[in-house]
């Protein structure tokens, strides 16, 4: 019996790790788009293509699969162009934010102050039942979202947040986007979630917050205009929170990471 010689080296380990990272990011991208089942279909197709081409070496079938993959790759780029642009924008943000020396003490103080300003604003708006929708950007690039609103580029301030969402003001409709310690834009339009399991008492703000949380890593805070309750949407889920829970969530979100 002829035994197939097999060697496994450091280069093979790197190769496996790179493929694993690519597949993981692809799964995250499709999951946020609400079509995670498509990932498993693509993975199954790639497995069949690998068996046909490299294991069984069926030339005709392999050539057909090669054509399908080349056309399918272009089709996926066209269909998911928004998500792909968001992914590369997030990747660019990660590289641009790398610094050799970081003043962590000053950053921690700034992050804590930002959290306190947001909590103070949410507390006051909840007490007066002033509806609000605040988005804290994560690593995902939200340029498409901020482009729909009015540019601010202002430091995070509780009074300014309350003025933005004060009833009948020009900017009270839509979302306020906060990124890297600054209020980037207000009156921004968010994608509305189509999840049918959302409780009926949740309004349009809650659905918009969940819609963005389903597609990005942003943290969305909603103050209900009807009940005054505060809700947080993260990672495709939304729930009501108390003030101490909100502090922990915002502190984890705003804290600088290496």
Q: Is the pLDDT of residue 102 over 60?
A: no
Is position 38 within any domain? yes
Is position 55 within any domain? yes
Give the integer Cα–Cα distance in Å for 258 and 253: 13
**Structure confidence by residue, pLDDT tens digits, 121-159:** 999 999 999 999 999 998 877 888 999 999 998 999 999
pLDDT at 209: 95
**Structure confidence by residue, pLDDT tens digits, 2-38:** 444 456 677 778 877 887 887 777 766 666 555 556 6
Is position 89 within any domain? no
> To the nearest whole percent, how much of the chain has pLDDT over 70?
76
Q: What is the chain's mean pLDDT, rounded?
A: 80
Is position 152 within any domain? yes
Give the integer Cα–Cα distance in Å for 213 and 223: 16
Is position 85 within any domain? no
Q: Are residues 113 and 64 in the same domain?
A: no
Task: Give the number of domains in the chain.
Answer: 2
Q: Is the pLDDT of residue 104 over 60?
A: no
Domain of residue 66: give its range: 10-79
42-65 burial, b if ≥16 CB within 10 A, otherwise e?
beeeeeebeebbeeeeeeeebeeb
């Amino acid at each position: 019996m002829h035994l197939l010689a097999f060697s496994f080296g450091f280069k093979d380990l790197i190769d496996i790790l790179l493929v694993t990272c690519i597949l993981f990011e692809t799964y995250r991208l499709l999951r946020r788009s609400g079509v995670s089942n498509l990932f498993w279909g693509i993975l199954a197709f790639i497995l069949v293509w690998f068996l046909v081409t490299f294991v069984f070496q069926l030339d005709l079938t392999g050539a057909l699969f090669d054509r399908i993959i080349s056309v399918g790759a272009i089709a996926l780029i066209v269909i998911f162009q928004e998500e792909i642009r968001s992914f590369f924008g997030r990747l660019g943000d990660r590289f641009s934010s790398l610094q050799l020396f970081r003043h962590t003490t000053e950053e921690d103080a700034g992050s804590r102050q930002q959290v306190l300003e947001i909590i103070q604003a949410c507390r006051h708006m909840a007490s007066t039942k002033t509806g609000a929708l605040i988005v804290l950007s994560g690593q995902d690039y939200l340029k498409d979202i901020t482009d729909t609103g009015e540019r601010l580029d202002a430091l995070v301030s509780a009074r300014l947040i309350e003025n933005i969402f004060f009833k009948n003001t020009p900017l009270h409709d839509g979302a306020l986007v906060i990124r890297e310690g600054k209020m980037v834009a207000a009156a921004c339009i968010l994608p509305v979630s189509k999840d049918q399991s959302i409780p009926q008492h949740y309004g349009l703000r809650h659905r918009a917050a969940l819609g963005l949380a389903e597609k990005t890593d942003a943290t969305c805070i909603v103050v209900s205009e009807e009940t005054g309750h505060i809700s947080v949407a993260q990672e495709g889920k939304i729930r009501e929170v108390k003030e101490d829970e909100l502090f922990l969530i915002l502190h984890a979100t705003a804290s600088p990471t290496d």
